[in-house]
Amino acid sequence: MLDASSGRSRRFFHTLYSRARPTPRTALNGVLPDNRPMHLINADLHCHSHVSDGTLSPEALAERAHAQGVELWSLTDHDEVGGQQRACDAALALGMDYLTGTEISVSFIGETVHIVGLGFDPEADALRAGLATTRSGRRDRARQMAASLAQAGIAGAFEGALRYVANPDLISRTHFARFLVDSGVCPDTHAVFRRYLTPGNPGHVPHRWAGLGQAVRWITQAGGIAVIAHPARYRFTPTEEYALITEFIAHGGLGMEVVTGSHSTAEQSRYTDTALEFDLLASRGSDFHSPAESRTELGALPDLPGRLKPVWGALQHRIQRVPRRPLTALATAA
Ligand code: AMP
Ligand code: MN
Ligand code: MN
Ligand code: MN
């Protein structure tokens, strides 16, 4: 149900992306057809459906994004592209432009870092194989998380978390968090991550994800752009953060999320400077997961600062666009 690799959709994406060109290094800083500067488009290029750890279907998310005024949308499920076809179809049917997306879990100097990929060919073999490998460790990890929670007196967490999973390949900490909230252990998911599932707390299991260079190459070799997700969320020293950014760029990474649901005003301003310093393209995304859990609504974010180069300027050739009516059709409709 959640796998978009039916014969029709494989052909669909193949046709769209078979003439993939190398990604331009520089963004277009032009204006939109309605004369707005490119950076002011309401782009939301980071959110999750129930194909990973969101609660809504790709179609329901598309409707919600459109209703919130999103003009350019990307569904970026964790380690998974199984919802891309449905998200793209739903977006275009609503009149909303679409970029393919995913958020890849990476291990870098012992920390988990998230790399968002945008505008790639979702049928690319190396990307699909890499994501499948990244997903494959999740079930064992979940069993170990449940064993650790059982030691802390919380029984049945594996089966409990599975009740919230729509994609059996993608069991995540968020599903455990939902189980802990609904079984009355914690009042909300944010409280869960303060007391459980995080380093030093019950339910935490260290895990080795993809390498930084691997994830960046899966994305770029599929014609997309790699973006460091929510940079303020990592517990890096300035030296470690410098290492992350410079290695990311050395592997071919081009972008950084500057405007995201979890950045404070000060963090946004700091990463605006960082993006300028390293000449990174800037992205914008809510990281919306669920109406009940997410603090930031789809598309309800500050504008991208005008000093930055929007990542969507460099991805114009990868955007799936709503067919515009020819002018003759407009004339007869009037
Ligand atoms: P996993 O990929 O299984 O390690 O799960 C990571 C997911 O857990 C993230 O994508 C978030 O959705 C969620 N998460 C992690 N930390 C927090 C937090 N402090 N508050 C809310 N959700 C969190
Ligand atoms: Mn998540
Ligand atoms: Mn993330
Ligand atoms: Mn996310």
Write out the DSSP string of 18-74. Answer: TT--PPPSSPP--B-TTS-BGGGS-EE--B--TTTT-SS-HHHHHHHHHHTT-SEE-
Q: Please report, in angstroms and rounded to a whole number, the separation of the first and last CA atoms in the chain.
A: 42
Nearest bound ligand to CA 172? Answer: 1
Atom of ligand 1 nearest to the CA of 190: 20
Four-residue CA torsion sign, 96, 60, 15, 79: positive
Tell how far the Cα of 321 is from the centroid of ligand 2, in angstroms: 27
Ligand 1: which of 52, 53, 164, 173 to mutate, most ligand atoms within 8 Å of CB?
173
Ligand 1 interacting residues, C-beta cut-off 6 A? 53, 78, 105, 172-174, 189-190, 193, 289
Four-point Cα dihedral 246, 250, 253, 257, nearest 10: 0
The reported pLDDT for the residue numbered 327 is 64
Measured between alpha carbons, how far is 286 from 259 in angstroms, rounded to an integer? Answer: 8
Q: Supply the DSSP string of 204-223, one letter for each residue.
A: ------EEHHHHHHHHHHTT
Measured between alpha carbons, how far is 94 from 61 in angstroms, rounded to an integer? Answer: 12
The reported pLDDT for the residue numbered 27 is 55
The reported pLDDT for the residue numbered 265 is 97
Instruction: With CA atoms as reference, report the closest residue to 252 among 225, 232, 289.
Output: 225
What tens-digit pLDDT sequence spans the chain (334 residues)?
344 444 445 544 544 554 444 455 555 556 666 778 899 999 999 999 999 999 999 999 999 999 999 999 999 999 999 999 999 999 999 999 999 999 999 999 999 999 999 999 999 999 999 999 999 999 999 999 999 999 999 999 999 999 999 999 999 999 999 999 999 999 999 999 999 999 999 999 999 999 999 999 999 999 999 999 999 999 999 999 999 999 999 999 999 999 999 999 999 999 999 999 999 999 999 999 999 999 999 999 999 999 999 999 999 999 999 876 566 655 544 3
Atom of ligand 1 nearest to the CA of 172: 3
Measured between alpha carbons, how far is 243 from 241 in angstroms, rounded to an integer? Answer: 5
User: Which residues make beta-bridge pairs with 221?
Assistant: none
Q: What is the DSSP letter of 325?
A: P
Instruction: With CA atoms as reference, report the closest residue to 301 among 14, 116, 72.
Output: 72
Measured between alpha carbons, how far is 93 from 62 in angstroms, rounded to an integer? Answer: 10
The reported pLDDT for the residue numbered 35 is 76
Ligand 1: which of 113, 115, 174 to mutate, most ligand atoms within 8 Å of CB?
174
Is residue 24 within 8 Å of 140, Cβ to Cβ? no
Q: Supply the DSSP string of 94-150, one letter for each residue.
A: HT-EE--EEEEEEEETTEEEEEEEES--TT-HHHHHHHHHHHHTHHHHHHHHHHHHH
Ligand 1: which of 172, 201, 233, 296 to mutate, most ligand atoms within 8 Å of CB?
172
The reported pLDDT for the residue numbered 330 is 55
The reported pLDDT for the residue numbered 34 is 72
Measured between alpha carbons, how far is 179 from 163 in angstroms, rounded to an integer? Answer: 8
Is residue 96 within 8 Å of 41, Cβ to Cβ? no
